[in-house]
Structure 1
Amino acid sequence: MSMSASEFLLWELRRRRAVEGLSQGEWGSRIYFSSQHVSAVERGARPAKLDYLQAVDNEYGTSLAVFYESFVKQELAPVWLRPWLEYEEKATALRLYDALVIPGLFQTERYARMVLSCSPLQPDELEHMIQIRIGRQAALDRPNPPRISAVIEELALRRGEAEIMAEQIRHLITLTERPNITIRIVPLDAPAHLGWGGPLALASFTDAEDVGYLDNHLEGQTVTSANQVASLHEVWDSVSAVALPARQSLDLLKEVAKSWT
């Protein structure tokens, strides 16, 4: 019987632990994950994320993180998302805007689950999409990470479950400490702007034209047409014009953080 790449990954994790003769608790203690985490990963109830796979690789000399990056990530992604994932991975700079939620590259796992649980996804599709979203964040830690400029509406910071939002806002504050990341907030009292049409992303490259990405309720759209990308630049300029400067945005993030605790 044939296996998908993701099924093989879980099979190999279980097989390797059996070869080592370790219980889930013993295996977990060696890679600094709880036995509950190990159990959930091996059952497929929790995504096998890069940090977990890299911990396994470091302890047992495997190459599961490379296998995940090369085969599993693309397999799990819907066909319509795959072109954008390739652009996103190769970009030297990214510009992100969202009105209602935190951009995916900045989401904590619990926040991503809260947001994606509101979509019409089946349970297995939900886990796949969470795994993809969190897996994409590996771009933030690569040797030469992209410059990322994000504009987020204040409304997105004030919607959600208190415990999850408190953790998420703290994560955003931590991200602003990175020299390659700028986060700016559009305050609630900002005037109307073109971003009200929906979220967008722009990817820039050293030797190629910019590429855009639009998200909607059903599926995203990668935009390569020069005219359409130029229109997205206009939208970006419009939302950027009404966003607070980075320092004031950080102050607002800290204020919102207090409101969630």
Structure 2
Amino acid sequence: MSASEYLVDDLRRTRELLGLTQEAWGDRIHFSAKHVGAVERGERPALPDYLAAVDRAFGTAFVKFYRMFVKRELVPVWYRPFIEQEGQASLLGVYHPLLVPGILQTEAYAQAVLTGYRFQPDTVDDMLATRLGRQEILHRRPDPCQLVAVLDEGVLHRRVGDADVMRDQLKALMAACDRPHVRVQVVPFEAGAYVGMDGALAIATVDGRSVGFLEGHLEGRVVESPDAVTDLESVWEAIRDYALPSNQSLELIMRAVEKWT
């Protein structure tokens, strides 16, 4: 049994030991009975926001179990050093030329991306849970991670899923722009060719030390040596030089929403 399967079983066992129906359990944690049932049947991933609600209501430690076992289990070995740093980051910079960065993806958009990658159907749900679970760093209290996300304007117009998925994703980007600790910037078409078009990157800063990550077709590469990180930070700053300020980027996103309405 995998850690994620054990987690779901333990959630169900805990509810039954407390003598609660799915409806009563949902009332206590402020989630619908439909949501509770979907989690227990494995149709919907048990994400940190759900687990945190359970922990608050019943004094359990499901979030801790998720972080220690489930999250690590679903991450490729070569990606784990960066994910561990990302989970503790005080500042995270992410750039993607083709997609909305995973840290800001909606569930439906992420599902469409993973399905498009043609992963085995039985692995997509677990991968989705991992991707969405990483977003908890933006909701930490009292110190959410500061995020700067840069994307190419083409991302706003590349269909991922259907029009509803795109509209909801762009609206989620707009909502992210309202958070004081999140900045979203767009590199406009008018920039032409620019540094960074050849691939996505991320830089996580923890306790004054930065670790980078470069995406690849088969596997990514973690960048840890100080000299290499310095070079990657130079690339990151060069990309941001081409990006519009936050307010102009928001205007671009708002206009793109109209296309998908």
Task: Verify same fold: TM over 0.5.
Answer: yes
**Number of the residue aligned with 1:154:** 153
Whether the 8 Å contact between 2:138 and 2:146 is mirrored in structure 1 is no
**Number of the residue aligned with 2:105:** 107
**Number of the residue aligned with 2:185:** 184
Matches within 5 A, 1:86-165: 86-142=84-140, 143-160=142-159, 161-165=162-166
Q: SS at 1:112's partner residue?
A: helix
Whether the 8 Å contact between 1:92 and 1:205 is mirrored in structure 2 is yes
**Number of the residue aligned with 2:199:** 198
CA distance in 1, matches of 2:11, 2:43: 14
Structure 1's consecutive aligned runs of 4 or more residues displaced over 6 angstroms after TM superposition are none
**Number of the residue aligned with 1:67:** 65
Which is worse superposed, 199-208 or 99-108? 199-208
Unaligned runs of 5+ residues in structure 2 are none
CA distance in 2, matches of 1:166, 1:159: 12
Which is worse superposed, 93-102 or 8-17? 8-17
- AA matched with 2:208: D
Q: Percent of pairs identical after alignment?
A: 46
Give the C-alpha shift of residue 70 in structure 1: 2.3
Q: For 1:77-132, what per-residue CA distance to the aligned partner results, in whole angstroms no more than 9, with x for missing partners?
A: 22122111111122221111101101111111111111111113112321111111
Which is worse superposed, 61-70 or 95-104? 61-70
Whether the 8 Å contact between 1:154 and 1:187 is mirrored in structure 2 is yes
Unaligned runs of 5+ residues in structure 1 are none
Whether the 8 Å contact between 1:113 and 1:130 is mirrored in structure 2 is yes
**Number of the residue aligned with 1:253:** 253
**Number of the residue aligned with 1:169:** 170
CA distance in 2, matches of 1:206, 1:54: 25
Give the C-alpha shift of residue 221 in structure 1: 1.6
CA distance in 2, matches of 1:242, 1:207: 26
Whether the 8 Å contact between 1:191 and 1:242 is mirrored in structure 2 is no
CA distance in 2, matches of 1:217, 1:40: 33
Give the superposed CA RMSD: 1.7
Q: TM-score, normalised by structure 1?
A: 0.92
- AA matched with 2:217: H
Give the C-alpha shift of residue 37 in structure 1: 2.1
- Please point out which of 50, 53, 74 is paired with 2:51: 53
Q: SS at 2:44's partner residue?
A: coil
Whether the 8 Å contact between 2:92 and 2:204 is mirrored in structure 1 is yes
Aligned length: 258
**Number of the residue aligned with 2:214:** 214
CA distance in 1, matches of 2:18, 2:181: 41
- AA matched with 1:147: Q
Whether the 8 Å contact between 2:96 and 2:152 is mirrored in structure 1 is yes
